[in-house]
C-alpha cells in the first residue's frame, strides 16, 4: 500500500511516517516507481511507534527494540520493553502522588493563615 493509505490505517501523518523513515525507525520501504510501498510489517512498526509515542516514550529509547531492516519484530523483547515502561509510569505515578500530598499540605497550611479571606 502507498503512504497515504498507510497513514490512514495507522492514524499517523504522511510527514510523521517520512520522519520515522529518516530517523531510521522504519526501514525505507520498497518502491513501485517513485512511490513508497508499505508492507504489513511496516504497518506493525508504525503502530508500535505510534503507541510508544502516545505513552511518552522518546524515539531514542524506542530504537532499542525496533528490528533491523529484514528482521521480524521480537515480541518478547517488546514485552520486556513495555514492562520497563510500565515500571517507569508507576514510579512517575508515585512521584506525582507525593507531589500532590505536598501541595495539599501547603494548601492546608495556608488555610490556617490569619487574614486569609475567601
Is 48 among the domain residues?
yes
Q: Can you read off the three cell numbers belonging to residue 16?
A: 510523521
- What CATH number is attached to the domain comprising 29? 1.10.1660.10
Is 12 among the domain residues?
yes
Is 97 among the domain residues?
yes
Q: 54: helix, coil or strand?
A: helix
Is 16 among the domain residues?
yes
pLDDT mean over 69-74: 79
Distance CA 91, CA 116 (A): 36
**Domain tally, the chain:** 1
**pLDDT per residue over 12-46, tens digit each?**
999 999 999 998 888 888 898 989 899 998 999 99
Decide if 87 contacts 55 (C-beta within 8 A).
no
Distance CA 38, CA 52 (A): 20
**Does the pLDDT at position 117 exceed 70?**
no
Distance CA 76, CA 65 (A): 10
Q: Can you read off the three cell numbers belonging to residue 91?
A: 514510579
Is 94 among the domain residues?
yes
Is 118 among the domain residues?
no
Is 116 among the domain residues?
no
Domain span at residue 57 reads 3-111
Single pTM value for the model:
0.76
Q: What's the farthest any 2 CA atoms get from each other in the chain?
A: 77
Is 37 among the domain residues?
yes
Q: Cβ-count burial of 100 within 10 angstroms (0-12 exposed, 13-18 middle, 19+ buried)? A: exposed
Amino acid at each position: 500500500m502507498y503512504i497515504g493509505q498507510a497513514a490512514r490505517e495507522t492514524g499517523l501523518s504522511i510527514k510523521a511516517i517520512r520522519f520515522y523513515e529518516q530517523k531510521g525507525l522504519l526501514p525505507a520501504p520498497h518502491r513501485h516507481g517513485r512511490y513508497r510501498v508499505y508492507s504489513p510489517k511496516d504497518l506493525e512498526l508504525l503502530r508500535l511507534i505510534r503507541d510508544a509515542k502516545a505513552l511518552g516514550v522518546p524515539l531514542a529509547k524506542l530504537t532499542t527494540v525496533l528490528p533491523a531492516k529484514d528482521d521480524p519484530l521480537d515480541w518478547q523483547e517488546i514485552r520486556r520493553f513495555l514492562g520497563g515502561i510500565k515500571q517507569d509510569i508507576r514510579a512517575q505515578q508515585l512521584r506525582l502522588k507525593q507531589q500532590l500530598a505536598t501541595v495539599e499540605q501547603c494548601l492546608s497550611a495556608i488555610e490556617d493563615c490569619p487574614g486569609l479571606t475567601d
